[in-house]
Every structure is written in structure tokens, then in C-alpha cells.
Structure 1
């Protein structure tokens, strides 16, 4: 006895073309940097019209598998951890703007994440890593009167700490979270005169990293984030 329904849904041609094209990429038939076949070649190969090809190609571009440039053949993209998270940017922006709770959850996630990252950095950091962080901190100090440059250097400092892990996914997560948070950085920074406090806190974190003191580095990072998280808020 047959239970329920097993209705066969007819798929759009573009969906079938999408799966075929995706298979050509994931199987290695087409690799990063390779040009996709022309629309005419694909029409002949799959026996479909131009609209189905174009819709499927746009769908591939939307998920970052190919890049489409006017007047040129589409090309297969080199996928990286960074490009993976970039595909989430629009969705994350919409979610954050629609939900104050989501912004708080993101700040909590960042706090949890950076506690682990700074511990890892304290264990793994080399003299070159410390010098790189010091250079960024020096740039931030020189930008104390320029909020845009100051915040950019601030985020670069935190991203560089994540990069010390040597894990491209950790680095991409850091860049993504800070990028999503950036639009919620209020003008409180420039109006409350907390720039120098940020510099002092960054200097403290860096000092503990140079000493490879994971516990002290984590405590300094938590103190820094608990204070600075208040600077990220939905517009009143």
C-alpha cells in the first residue's frame, strides 16, 4: 500500500542547466580562472534556449562560483574562505537591520570568538606578527583625529590577531563579523573621547601577546570588547 504522495515536480530548464554547469565546476572539468563555454556552445550542448543559460549563469554568479563581466566570457572564480563569507554579506545586513536581537547576538559571538583568537595568537605569535600589530597600532594612533581611518586600523588590528592562527576560515570569520558590525559603529567614539582608551587597551593586548601570556591577553581582550561593544548600536 502506498502512503502519502510522491508528486514529480517538473523543474525549470534553468535549474537543470545550473546543476549541469555547477557539476562541470565541482568535478574539475572547469577550474579557477577558466572561461565558461559561450552561450551558443551551451545552448547546443544542452539543447536549451538562451534565457535558460543566462538565468543559470546568473545563479552561479550569485553564489560566487563564476564572475560575469560585460563583453567578456564568464570565468570560474577561485573560491576562498573569504569569498564564502562575502556571499553572506547582503543576507547578514538585512538580518541585522531587521532585528536588534541579531546585532546583540553578533556582538556576543564576536566576544566569544575573539577570546579564542587572542589566546591562539598569544601561543603562536612570532616577532614578525608582533611587529605587524605594532605597525597597525602606530597607524591607529596617528589617525586619532580621523574616525574613518581610526576605525579601519582598529578592525585591521583585530583581523591580524585572527590571522596569526594560520587558519583562513578564522581570518575570514573575523573579517566578516567586523564588516557586518562596522555599519553600526556609532559616532559615540568621536564624541566621547574614547580613542585614547582604545589605544591603551590595544597596547595592553599587544604587550601580553608579545609575552605569550594567553590568560592575560584573553582578560585584556574581554575587558576591551565589553567596553567597546557599547559603541555598536542600531540608530535611535
Structure 2
């Protein structure tokens, strides 16, 4: 039989606050009581309250602004993914297999998403994809803008899948991967190839050919995976903006 583990007071406070948020005692958009009020309500000292509040902020459940009471955040998938972005970028920079595993995951997920996007595509979605292609064409020659337009295109397809959780995770992966992408100007002709592949994906979606779109997406991402920096240069990305 294992001994009973003593829990930190801050963990007890955290559990109480999470329960209050999840039961809508403090609904999204509302402000939490002040530190002094929470101390009186829960019967603990200021250090335990502050530690619990920091944990809530790290979990993406509240936002703490200087001079204001903490505000409860609507825990959408986008907010949750954004909360872990810095940690994920650090993991990719320090894990020998991290970047390769993320590229593999993106390949599998986006191939599945484009099938779903094809099935769900509306006339408005197709117009948005065409507009995204125009943005990509206009961004040629400007690396940062081109990468941004590329990410927006893939993010749009993720949204078209109709699965908000997977779409948020996919867009998070795109942000994480973008920190390690080499300048396309150093890879002759890659911008043109990327644009052509995007156009083929749009044509397949418009034709209702989900399997064809998935094959093109798989080839596209497999080729694009070569554009990411190797592990011996990855750490430089942590200080790049």
C-alpha cells in the first residue's frame, strides 16, 4: 500500500478554481475575484493564490493583465494550441527526432484533412482558396510574406475540414514548423513549384476528387519537408523573429 501523498495548497486552490470555471461560476469573459477576496473565500495565503493563478494562466484558462483582475478566457482549441507554442518550439529545437516527427505528423494529418475539406467544400470555400492562391502569387520574392501566404492556404484547408480541434492543431504545427524553414530564395525554383502544387490541390478539391487532393498534398508536403533546416542549425531559430 502506497503512503498518502500530501498535496500543495496551491494545487487545492487550483482545483477549486478550475471547478468554479468549468461549472460557470466564473464564465468566460468574467473577472475572477481579487487576490484578497480569493484568500478570504478559500482560506489560504497569498502565495498559494498566486501560484494557482499562474498555473491557470499557463493552462490558457485566464488572462492576467497588469493592474486588472484576472479574466476567464474561453478555452478554444486555438487558445490552447497557442499556449503551448513556445514549449513546442523549444522541444523541436532540442529533441533529436522532434522536427522529423512533427513533419511526419503533419503529412498524415493534412492528407486526411484535405479529403474532409473536399467533401465539405462550398462555393465560398472555393472562392477563398482562389483568393489564397492569388495572395501566394503576389508574395513571390518576399520570403516572409510567401511563407505566411503558404501557411494561410493550409490553414484554410484545415478549417474547411470542419474539425475545429484538428484544424487548430494543424495551424499550430504550421507556426512551429515555420520557425525552421529555410529561405526559399536559396532554393531555386521552389516558390514556383509550391504555387503549382497549391493550384493542383485547389483543382482537385473543386473537382470533388478527395483522393487525388490527398495524393497531391502528400507529394507537396513530402517535397516541402526538405526545406527545413537540419538539427545542427535548428537552435538558431529560437532567437529569430
Calculate the TM-score normalised by the size of structure 1. 0.93
- Check if 1:179 corresponds to 2:175: yes
1:76 aligns with 2:57: no
Matched, 1:158 2:154: yes
Match of 2:238 in 1: none
Q: Which residue of 2 aligns with 1:57?
A: 53
Tell me the residue number matched to 2:195: 199
SS of 2:180's equivalent?
Answer: coil
Is 2:141 aligned against 1:117? Answer: no
1:8 aligned partner: 4
State the alpha-carbon separation in 2 of the partners of residues 39 and 99 from structure 1.
39
Distance 1:90 1:18 in 2: 23
Asked if the contact 2:89–2:176 (Cα under 8 Å) also holds between the matched residues in 1, the reply is yes
Alignment of 1:19-98 (within 5 A): 19-98=15-94
Q: How far 1:183 moved relative to its partner? A: 0.6
**Would you say the 8 A contact 2:120–2:162 is kept in 1?**
no
* Largest Rg, 1 or 2: 1
Q: CA deviation at 1:168?
A: 0.7
- SS in structure 1 of the partner of residue 97 of structure 2: helix
Q: How much has 1:169 moved relative to structure 2?
A: 0.9
Aligned 8 A contact 2:114 2:161 in 1:
no
1 CA distance for matches of 2:19 and 2:119? 42
Instruction: Spell out structure 1 runs of 4+ moving beyond 3 A.
Output: none
RMSD: 1.3
Aligned residues: 231
Unaligned runs of 5+ in 1: none
Inter-partner Cα distance in structure 2 for 1:153 and 1:210:
20
Match of 2:147, SS state, is: helix
